[in-house]
A and B are shown apart, each in its own frame.
Chain A
């Protein structure tokens, strides 16, 4: 290790150190003034963001090829950092209201983001595993942050058990791949396969185990069973962050590993990925229809959205469309981030203590009493459905188009049908807010309002000018290859 290595991963290093210092500094911050901790955490994220953006755009390896920092990584890091900032804005008032204001919350959030950033840097399976643990463990704790609440404890335990299980699968997969190729670095694995020195069966099983492990993280059907319970039990501000960050990190890892190391296995994997994508879209959307609790509805909706994302992954070995499909995935993730965080911000505004205010009927009449809030929620629901000119529309559009380019027209059509179907339940929320009478009440908080403003602006602004965002995503991709 030398200085250049550290400079290469500077944003990550700064963030991790900042989180540790924050834990210490927090000891001297009085219990009723945890807002200071929140501001400090946000400063740390902003600093990491600045460092990421100012570093050179050239791909750079460090630590003997174990990490790589390139456009792909930086683009995803921006997603993590922005969603981190937004979820701090979401959390501050919520935690106070729910009696959860503790400084560790923000430190843990920063650790989780460090793990996600490390995941995007990973160029070696060992680092992939390290990042997976670094991002998961803080999230387990955060899920159980409502201590003594049985739902939250259930969520933490469930998440931890299944997370540990999936980490085990990933680790076993890494071991098998090492056994097959004697390498753990991603280019090295590919080289070993190309020189035909690898054991094909072992490699395939190893790859499959990695896929299963990350499918747990990204909530791909049939590895999604934990999602509704955890999303419902965890504090809403955590769920908001988790449903963006953890999912994106899972996809980042899959993309990096499979594109760099396993393009030769595509004949075996493509049908499986096709099936997973189709299954996730169908199951997520169908079960979402039966939900009456907003948290569970958004949980199943996030599963369905993961199914659309998976679509980008299906043609991962086709060099011709690869850059398009990665760009489509990155673009979709940005839309997903804005839409999801916005929708969760509304949920947080309406939620009351002790898990009240989360049923669909609690939203009746919201349009009368809080027209801006209800209008924002409508915008996010439309973006989830994919109605133009929202960002969600363009995200789906680019995804479906690359699926067609890759020769998976049936899958794209399936996605389209699933989207139409999803209109049923997303629209129910809108109907409830505007067309039913009720006494919905919501919290007014400037930070929440700011979050809603930024996310709405993102959904509409980028929706009207999708070209600029797509160009950014395309640039990010070119540097990956």
Chain B
């Protein structure tokens, strides 16, 4: 029997976590290197999976399908597989995890063992979410990601950590329960929880599509988060430790958007077509609201958190444009946001480690003392703002192109309002950059700040490389994404035709 690379990939961090359990708690160095090593091997495993992946095929690849147990007469199976929609998200996860772990070297000094343990568990859970193709299995991984994240926020978080952790828990829990109901309904109705078989037998639950779409949708919309279900996000981000914020923004939020693509669109295409304009309206509100609130923040982390609401609005708009361009832009933008916002959180974290404050008013003229950080931050900021030549532009432009010509939305105004969001993003990001790095030094502490050390530069460099890579030559990424998205767009197209 050969070992399925996806299974190995998913459970390798878990094995690392087990190893961490048995290491002595005092030996922080060993703990950190074990966690980093595990996540690097996981990254290598994901590259191996990528090398086995046949680019250009739309079908699910590297599939493993083992019957697991039965619920009544419905079969639950252990099914995993990747396609164009998930492969990049898997890579994003394995890419960001070692970077996040590296960022904790000096930031996390207490209970290093618990931190590394939870972080590796979280990585397993996230990979499982993107790879699972059985709804029951997906749900288990989905819930499983929740628990480590709550502890990361609740133990290593800031002053208000308990409030943020509990809020995060309750929001996600309520969404999960609705999704669970929908999954059970589907599974018991169809006799299988397999995504492939359910997608092939959509007729069985055609009558309940709208309700099912909403049940799944609420769970995913909370995770994305879509306005008006976003209120947990700023709290969670502000309180979470830097590495937690990076993973939260970089990967966990993508789970929501991924869920829409994988389950809502492919299982309930007709409901998707019917509800698309409404979802797009929420996405637009999110884009504009997130941007406006972001501009008003005095805390840097809150600013970045609200910018996530705005950026994820773009992703959702791209998805619900329901055409090929919109969706492929959305998938790429998920990756872009993970990279850029992850980097922004790292930069904020590095500033915080030096000054122990995140208040904008405390900074100013930092470029003079930290030119390296200033230079990197400028690139990241411009990538997040969508400057041509950097990754954010490619994603946002493709999404806007898709939204402009979207038949499902029926009006170019959606794209018009979203473009306003691009301008607002430039406003708040430039405002942030100017406040922190330019101007005169008005606090003495900022004059003597130590610039980035070697480890911190190593942490940020991979992100910069990807920012330029996607910005200048996005073709390999689109090659990965496109076949899967094309197939999904064709499916939606036929559903729309059937509807009208």
Contacts and interface: CB of A to CB of B under 8 A. Distances in A.
Interface of A: 367-368, 371, 382, 387-389, 397, 401, 416, 419-420, 423-424, 427, 431, 434-436, 465-467
B174 A420 contact: yes
Contact of B166 (A416, A427, A467): A427
B139 A435 contact: no
Contact of B155 (A420, A434, A467): A434
A467 B184 contact: no
B162 to A, nearest CB: 5
Given A423-B170, A427-B166, A435 B70 contact: no
Contact of B143 (A368, A387, A424): A387
A146 B144 CA distance: 42
Interface string B113-125: 0100000000000
A401 B184 CA distance: 9
Interface string B42-78: 0000000000000000000000000011111000000
Contact of B177 (A367, A416, A431, A466): A416
23 contacts: A382-B147, A387-B143, A387-B147, A388-B140, A389-B140, A389-B144, A401-B71, A401-B72, A401-B188, A416-B181, A420-B173, A420-B177, A423-B173, A427-B166, A431-B166, A434-B151, A434-B154, A435-B154, A435-B155, A435-B165, A466-B69, A467-B69, A467-B70
Contacts of B70: 467
Nearest to A416: B177
Contact of B162 (A387, A436, A467): A436
Nearest to A400: B184
A133 B32 CA distance: 60
B111 A388 contact: no
Contacts of B139: 388
Interface string B164-175: 011001100110
Nearest to B68: A467
Nearest to A379: B147
A371 B72 CA distance: 38
A49 B288 CA distance: 67
Contacts of A419: 177
A435 B162 contact: yes
B161 interface: yes
A345 to B, nearest CB: 21
A382 B151 CA distance: 14
Nearest to A428: B166
A373 to B, nearest CB: 14
Nearest to A368: B111
B178 to A, nearest CB: 10
Contacts of B69: 465-467
A397 B188 CA distance: 12
A477 to B, nearest CB: 14
B142 to A, nearest CB: 9
Contact of A367 (B71, B155, B166): B155
B181 A423 contact: no
Contacts, number: 48
Contact of A431 (B68, B114, B165): B165
A453 to B, nearest CB: 14
A436 to B, nearest CB: 7
A189 to B, nearest CB: 33
Contacts of B71: 397, 401
B182 to A, nearest CB: 13
Contacts of A435: 154-155, 161-162, 165
Given A401-B188, A435-B154, A467-B69, 17 more contacts: A367-B155, A382-B147, A388-B139, A389-B140, A401-B71, A401-B72, A416-B177, A420-B174, A423-B169, A423-B170, A423-B173, A427-B169, A431-B154, A431-B166, A434-B155, A466-B69, A467-B70
Nearest to B170: A423
A354 to B, nearest CB: 30
A467 B155 CA distance: 36
Which of A368, A397, A423, A435 neighbours the largest number of chain B CB atoms within 10 Å of its CB? Answer: A435
Contacts of A367: 114, 155
B14 to A, nearest CB: 13
Nearest to B174: A420
B147 to A, nearest CB: 7
A164 to B, nearest CB: 42
A394 to B, nearest CB: 9
A285 to B, nearest CB: 15
A410 to B, nearest CB: 14
Contacts of A387: 143, 147
B188 to A, nearest CB: 8
Listed from nearest, the 5 A-B pairs whose CB atoms lie closest are: A467-B69, A435-B154, A435-B162, A388-B140, A389-B140
Contacts of A388: 139-140, 143
A182 B165 CA distance: 62
A465 B144 CA distance: 17
A397 B181 CA distance: 10
Which of B111, B161, B173, B188 neighbours the largest number of chain A CB atoms within 10 Å of its CB? Answer: B173
A142 B151 CA distance: 39
Contacts of B155: 367, 434-435
Nearest to B169: A427
Interface string B347-381: 00000000000000000000000000000000000
Contacts of A466: 69
Contacts of B177: 416, 419-420
Contacts of B114: 367, 371
A128 B98 CA distance: 63
Contacts of B68: 467
Contacts of A467: 68-70
A420 B154 CA distance: 20
A387 B70 CA distance: 19
Contacts of B170: 423-424
Contacts of A465: 69
Nearest to A466: B69
Contacts of A420: 173-174, 177
Nearest to A372: B21
Nearest to A398: B71
Nearest to A405: B72
A416 B177 CA distance: 8
A419 B72 CA distance: 22
A454 B147 CA distance: 22
A420 B179 CA distance: 13
A300 to B, nearest CB: 20
B283 to A, nearest CB: 28
A445 B81 CA distance: 46
A431 B162 contact: yes
A367 B113 CA distance: 12
Interface string B185-197: 0001000000000
A401 B71 CA distance: 10
A368 B151 CA distance: 13
Contacts of B147: 382, 387
Nearest to A431: B162
A467 B68 CA distance: 9
B132 to A, nearest CB: 13
Nearest to A378: B147
Nearest to B69: A467
B236 to A, nearest CB: 14
B493 to A, nearest CB: 36
A208 B173 CA distance: 39
A466 B184 CA distance: 16
B394 to A, nearest CB: 38
Contacts of B162: 431, 435-436
Interface in B97-123: 111, 114
B352 to A, nearest CB: 20
Contacts of A434: 151, 154-155
Which of A388, A397, A401, A465 neighbours the largest number of chain B CB atoms within 10 Å of its CB? Answer: A388
Interface string B135-158: 000011001100100010011000
Which of A367, A382, A424, A434 neighbours the largest number of chain B CB atoms within 10 Å of its CB? Answer: A434
Contacts of A424: 170
A401 B183 CA distance: 13
